[in-house]
A = this chain, B = another copy of it.
Amino acid sequence: MNPLIQQFKKYGYLNEVIAEEVEKRTRYFFKKKGEHFLREGQHLSSYFVLSTGLIRAYFLKNGREMNSWFGEENQIFGSILPVYTEKPSFENIQFLEDSEIYAISVDDLNELYRIYPELNLIGRKIAEEVCIVLEERIMSLHTESAAERYQSLIRLQPNLINRINLGHIASYLGITQETLSRIRR
C-alpha cells in the first residue's frame, strides 16, 4: 500500500476498489536535493506524500525567494490553489534533501471524485484539516512578534529547525536572517 493511500485512510474509510484505483494513478519519483518538483508557471496540480525527504514551497517577491511552507515525511500536501483559479501556479516546489515522493494529479483525483462520490468525504476532511493549519499560520503572522513566531514554529514543526538552514526559516517567518540569528542567541 503506497504512502498516499495510507494518508487517505487516516481521514476516512477507503474501500479496496477505490484504493486500487488510487494505486493505479499514483506516480513515484526519486529526486535529489536541489531539484524542483514544480516550477512557477507550470500548471501541474497534485497531492503528494514524501516517504523520505524534505520539501519547501516558495514564491518570488521583488526578485527574492519567500518560503511559504515546508513538508516532511508522511504528511499530505499539494498545491490546490491553481486548480480552482485556473491561473498558472506562482508557487515553486523544491527538494531540500534527497526525497522519495508519491503523487496523484488533481485531474486524476477529480476523475475519482466523479466516479466514486464517497471519496469526497476524504477530500473534504483533508481540505478542512488544511484550513486549520492555515488558520494557525494566520494567527501567528497576525498577532505574534518575530521571536514568538519562531517559538510557534518550533512547537508545530520541531524537526525542521535541525534540517533547514537559517535563511530558509527566516524567510518562512517573514524576517531577515540577521534578525533570526539574533533571536536565537
Contact = CB atoms under 8 A, between A and B. Distances in A.
- Number of this chain's copies in the complex: 2
Contacts of A143: 61, 66, 174
B128 A84 contact: yes
A183 interface: no
A129 B129 CA distance: 13
A127 interface: yes
Contacts of A61: 143
B134 A124 contact: no
A121 B113 contact: yes
A80 B117 contact: no
Chain A interface size band reads 20 to 34
A62 to B, nearest CB: 9
Contacts of A142: 66, 68, 141, 174
A7 interface: no
Nearest to A79: B135
Interface string A117-151: 11011011001111110110111011100000000
A85 interface: yes
A81 interface: yes
A84 B132 contact: yes
16 contacts: A68-B139, A80-B128, A84-B128, A113-B124, A117-B120, A118-B120, A120-B121, A123-B124, A127-B128, A127-B131, A131-B131, A134-B135, A138-B141, A141-B141, A141-B142, A141-B174
